[in-house]
Amino acid sequence: MTLSLKELTAEADRCVACGLCLPHCPTYRKTGSEADSPRGRIQLIRAVSQDILPNNARFKEHIDLCLSCRSCESACPNSVNYGALVDTTRALYIQKRSVWLSIAKPFIRHRRLSNAITWPLWFLSKLNLITVLKQLVPTAKLLPTIQKPMVWKSLYTATQTTQGAVSLFLGCATNAFDNRTLSASIYVLNALGYDVHVPNAQTCCGSIARQAGDDLEASLLIKKNASNFDPAMPILTTASGCSAGLKDYLTTHQIQDISTFLVSCDWSTVKITPLKERIYVQDPCSLRNVLKAQKAVYDLLKKIPEADIQALPGNSQCCGGAGAYSVTQPEMANQLLNDKLTAITANQVTILATSNIGCSLHINKGLNSTHASTRVTHPIEIIAKQMGFEA
């Protein structure tokens, strides 16, 4: 939620500076600086909003370093709405003329444009030429594995007695880099008796633009989604980052993370093949701190006979993916990623389930030869495979 200036000051005033949120803040834990803590940032926001301190480069630096993980919000006994504070601050004071956002904006906004990039990349990867591209263009090193782009139908009908209808939110990053998760979602929903609508003109959830302080762009994307999704049907997302962004701003529609929806379905008619494996789960911050729905992922995976479901140690700390954070704040993003990699190595993780594309891209980027047997995947893909889904 974006606040007015008066509401911003009033919300900041609700912080009683108790400091209980400090140990939960990843940036404070890393830098040890009060200005990189939730309490410190709230004090800075209040001072800038009242013209006590200038809106200068140092203020911007401390706000930029915030991951918007909202771990502080979950810990706050006074229920200070830190998410609204930081979103509003970015919109009012930190509007960036970011080069990367200006370049990325059309691709985020228009799926056809992002497909126009992913098709040639996919061909290059088929010809084993991605490595050459990565040597020629340094930024190409950030590219994940490219899956064959998909052209979505507007409706996928249930394969058994219809239980209802849902809309599927594609998400700009998931559609570009992990459409297998979207196909797996359609497969599972159809098998459970749900018609799946995929509105063609849907667009990005707006979270990346909002994080960059581009409130105008974020609002435009929300409006476009509002007019393209049927409010009578729940919108299911496979990326909890999108879910959180839509839930806060697309208030006319019912938004649900797909795992939350699926655990409430009737599974008595489907067959799930056993999987004798230990599956570790990484909780995305958006699922844990905003949607407060992380339990649904464990409950969903527990439907797989013989699977041993465990939480990845250190789950309460952000992985550093955080939307575009790994691009804008690579140093802190890598420090946080290293903590995840340490947990993955220490626990000899072979399957890591995470339900947010930002986390999965970021963690995948950090895996190296010591993690040759580690696979990061969406929980829906794991269960879909046990139901017969083939990518």
Q: How far is the CB of 15 from ligand SF4 (least distance, A)?
A: 3
**Nearer of residues 46 and 378 to ligand SF4, judged by Cβ:** 46
Spatial distance between the Cα atoms of 388 and 190, rounded to a whole number of angstroms = 13
Task: State yes or no: residue 323 binds ligand SF4 (CB under 6 A).
Answer: no
- Torsion sign over Cα 135, 138, 144, 148: negative
Q: How far is the CB of 16 from ligand SF4 (least distance, A)?
A: 5
Stretch that binds ligand SF4, among 64-72, 225-233, 254-262, 342-350 (CB under 6 A): 64-72
Q: Residues 281, 319: contact at Cβ < 8 Å?
A: no
CB atoms within 10 A of CB 243: 30
Q: How far is the CB of 83 from ligand SF4 (least distance, A)?
A: 7
**Nearer of residues 74 and 115 to ligand SF4, judged by Cβ:** 74
Task: State yes or no: residue 66 binds ligand SF4 (CB under 6 A).
Answer: yes
Q: Is 276 exposed, middle or buried (0-12, 13-18, 19+ CB in 10 A)?
A: exposed
Interaction residues for ligand SF4, span 132-191 (CB under 6 A): none
Task: State yes or no: residue 82 binds ligand SF4 (CB under 6 A).
Answer: yes
Total residues binding ligand SF4 (CB under 6 A): 27
* Triad 26, 47, 14: Cα angle to 5°: 70
Spatial distance between the Cα atoms of 238 and 170, rounded to a whole number of angstroms = 8
CB atoms within 10 A of CB 181: 25
For ligand SF4, the binding residue among 2, 43, 49, 71 (CB under 6 A) is 71
Stretch that binds ligand SF4, among 14-22, 93-101, 275-283, 367-375 (CB under 6 A): 14-22
CB atoms within 10 A of CB 29: 16
Pattern of binders to ligand SF4 over 242-281, x per CB under 6 A? ----------------------------------------
Task: State yes or no: residue 69 binds ligand SF4 (CB under 6 A).
Answer: yes
Stretch that binds ligand SF4, among 12-20, 225-233, 254-262, 345-353 (CB under 6 A): 12-20
Q: How far is the CB of 37 from ligand SF4 (least distance, A)?
A: 7
**Nearer of residues 75 and 263 to ligand SF4, judged by Cβ:** 75
Identity of residue 98? S
**Nearer of residues 121 and 318 to ligand SF4, judged by Cβ:** 318
Task: Return the C-alpha torsion angle 232, 236, 242, 248, nearest 10.
Answer: 40
Q: How far is the CB of 69 from ligand SF4 (least distance, A)?
A: 4
Residue 168 has phi, psi (to 5 degrees) of: -105, 125
Token pair in block for residue 124: 């290059």
**Nearer of residues 8 and 235 to ligand SF4, judged by Cβ:** 8
Task: State yes or no: residue 109 binds ligand SF4 (CB under 6 A).
Answer: no
Q: How far is the CB of 240 from ligand SF4 (least distance, A)?
A: 15
Stretch that binds ligand SF4, among 78-86, 189-197, 244-252, 363-371 (CB under 6 A): 78-86
Sheet bearing 375-377, strands edge to edge = 308-311, 278-282, 351-354, 375-377
Pattern of binders to ligand SF4 over 325-344, x per CB under 6 A? --------------------
Identity of residue 145? T
CB atoms within 10 A of CB 126: 11
Q: Is 254 exposed, middle or buried (0-12, 13-18, 19+ CB in 10 A)?
A: middle
Task: State yes or no: residue 290 binds ligand SF4 (CB under 6 A).
Answer: no
Q: Is 305 helix (H, G, I), strand (E, B) or coil?
A: coil
DSSP letters along 310-321, please? EEPTTTTS--S-
Q: Is 196 helix (H, G, I), strand (E, B) or coil?
A: strand
DSSP letters along 137-156, please? -GGGGG--PPPPP----SEE
Pattern of binders to ligand SF4 over 16-55, x per CB under 6 A? xxxxxx--xxxx----------xx-xx-------------
Residue 194 has phi, psi (to 5 degrees) of: -110, 130
Q: How far is the CB of 170 from ligand SF4 (least distance, A)?
A: 26
For ligand SF4, the binding residue among 3, 8, 12, 15 (CB under 6 A) is 15
Q: Which residues bind ligand SF4 (CB under 6 A)?
A: 15-21, 24-27, 38-39, 41-42, 66-72, 75-76, 78, 80, 82
